[in-house]
């Protein structure tokens, strides 16, 4: 009886495997040396800023693009109190040129996080007498 069930299940598996659709895959097309996907007509301008005093978050970004020329800046308030500003320029194929500046002076307030962590001391061994209860 078990052999008949195994044969029926085997045939069902073969039929199910045979009826599946076949999918084909082709490799992506390579870009030839003279071909480019960059658009010379791209044009946009955006900006955003976040300033949340409760959490000391202060950051933003502004960017303008006209064809292959892109200009922008972004800034962020660092945990040490300084404001980091990155001004950048992308001029066609010249690459990404960035100028990084810091405003303010780094501050490290005395807090639990900045203090030296307490040293760990292993507990003293404690021996029990075989007659004592633990």
pLDDT tens string 45-93? 999 999 988 887 899 999 999 888 899 999 999 988 899 999 999 987 7
Q: pTM, whole model, 2 decimals?
A: 0.51
Give yes or no for residue 37 having a pLDDT over 90.
no
Token pair recorded at residue 53: 């005093």
* DSSP letter string, 17-83: HHTS------PPPPPPTT-----TT-EEEEEEEEEETTTTEEEEEEEEEETTEEEEEEEEE-TTS-E
Token pair recorded at residue 88: 């950048």
């Amino acid at each position: 009886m078990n052999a008949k069930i195994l044969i029926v299940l085997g045939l069902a598996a073969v039929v199910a495997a045979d009826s599946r659709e076949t999918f084909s895959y082709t490799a992506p097309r390579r870009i030839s040396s003279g071909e480019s996907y960059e658009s010379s007509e791209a044009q946009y301008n955006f900006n955003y800023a976040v300033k949340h005093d409760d959490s000391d978050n202060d950051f933003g970004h502004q960017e303008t693009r006209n064809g292959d020329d892109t200009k922008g800046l972004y800034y962020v308030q660092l945990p040490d109190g300084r404001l980091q500003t990155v001004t950048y320029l992308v001029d066609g194929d010249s690459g990404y040129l960035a100028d990084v500046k810091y405003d303010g002076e780094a501050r490290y307030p005395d807090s639990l996080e900045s203090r030296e962590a307490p040293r760990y001391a292993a507990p003293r061994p404690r021996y029990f007498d075989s007659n004592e209860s633990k």
